[in-house]
Amino acid sequence: MGSKTALYDKHLASNAKIVDFGGWDMPIHYGSQIEEHNAVREAAGMFDVSHMTIVDIAGEGAEDYLRYLLANDVAKLKVVGKALYSGMLNEDGCVIDDLIVYRTADGFRVVVNCATREKDLAWMEKQAANFAVELQERPDLGIVAIQGPKAIEAVKTVLADQAELISQLGVFFGQPAGDWFIARTGYTGEDGLEIMVPNDAVENFWQQLLDAGVRACGLGARDTLRLEAGMNLYGSDMDETVTPLESAMGWTVAWEPESRDFIGRAALTAQKANGVPHKLVGLVLEERGVLRGHQKVVVAEGEEGEITSGTFSPTLGYSIALARVPASVGSNAKVEIRKKLLDVKVVRPPFVRNGERVYK
């Protein structure tokens, strides 16, 4: 048996299929993964993501610490509430984890992945030794992600006292509401909110959302949604063997100012100067067949890559994937499926935004 979130009993009550996910017992679906996927694209769905790890960072050295720890630069966060996405790298410039960091009134709040929790916290504590900073994990908080074109309005009906705060939230901003923290972020390619809720209040909040017509969704739909949105999954699309430059995360590396040193900068600078050998691209298979992780991608004679994430896209009606391939790849490639080479288009993700095809 794995760890359980405060919503575990609610999942069982809704007949969820429970699977192990990074050491946690989590719902993969509640009956129909495709219906859950479509609910998020067309209306509103919600996910229990309380397995993710929240860390509050305070102290007079908090900003300097994070400017050194992360490839992106928290100095960009000029106002309280603003958030950014970043990789946390090792000295070789490879990705220990990807995360979101918010500026708060007292410092910063970081949300990291559950499967990497122990190594993340150990790395963060090790680097903190040289800074006047305090790290506090927040296991007392659960996280509910409500996503979809009708998600924000649904939440405002449930949290009437916070409706004005929610209306004022910009994209990639988060603000406290008492012990709660409401952020306009997500992992689906739709508008929506990720709300951090005290564990003793999260069951009631979940039920109120159900009563308001928000559909409970499992991690299966979350994966197909994030892949349609062209968002990386740690452990599949990037890990400690590849750099952000090889993982379509180059935009998260803040090179300026040149005076800022961050862990992995020297290695990334060298890789950039020598030429990045591989890149992460999107693949589209419009004929029959399903793209899956680890399938071989042939881009040219003697040049090969590999699918890192692949799935059937419920929104598009055919298969899509992310793949790491030689940087020389053109606009077409082939994927080996059941010993046959099928033609695929090479595109720039995302595939879907706000329910519509967007790739070229």
CA-based torsion, 54, 83, 234, 128: positive or negative = negative
Tens-place pLDDT, residues 38-60? 999 999 999 999 999 999 999 99
Distance CA 38, CA 34 (A): 6
pLDDT class of 2 with cuts at 50, 70, 90 = confident
CA angle 81, 138, 102 (to 5 degrees): 15
How many angstroms separate the Cα of 307 from the Cα of each of 237, 266, 295, 334?
9, 28, 5, 11
Amino acid in the structure at residue 58: A
Distance CA 107, CA 126 (A): 19
pLDDT for the residue numbered 145: 98
Distance CA 294, CA 286 (A): 19
Q: What is the mean pLDDT of residues 57-72?
A: 98
Tens-place pLDDT, residues 146-193? 999 999 999 999 999 999 999 999 999 999 999 999 999 999 999 999
Distance CA 56, CA 106 (A): 9
Report the SS3 class of residue 327.
coil
Contact by Cβ (8 Å): 200, 324? no
User: Is 1 exposed, middle or buried (CB count within 10 Å of its CB: 0-12, 13-18, 19+)?
Assistant: exposed
DSSP string for residues in 127-138: HHTTSS-EEEE-
pLDDT for the residue numbered 1: 75
Q: Give this prediction's pTM.
A: 0.96
- Tell whether the model's pLDDT for residue 106 goes beyond 80: yes
DSSP string for residues in 213-255: TPEE--HHHHHHHHHHTT---BTTTB-TTS-GGGTT-GGG---
pLDDT class of 325 with cuts at 50, 70, 90 = very high
Contact by Cβ (8 Å): 274, 305? no
User: Is 60 exposed, middle or buried (CB count within 10 Å of its CB: 0-12, 13-18, 19+)?
Assistant: exposed
Nearest to 81 by CA among 161, 147, 172, 143: 172
Q: Which residue has the higher pLDDT, 121 or 300?
A: 121
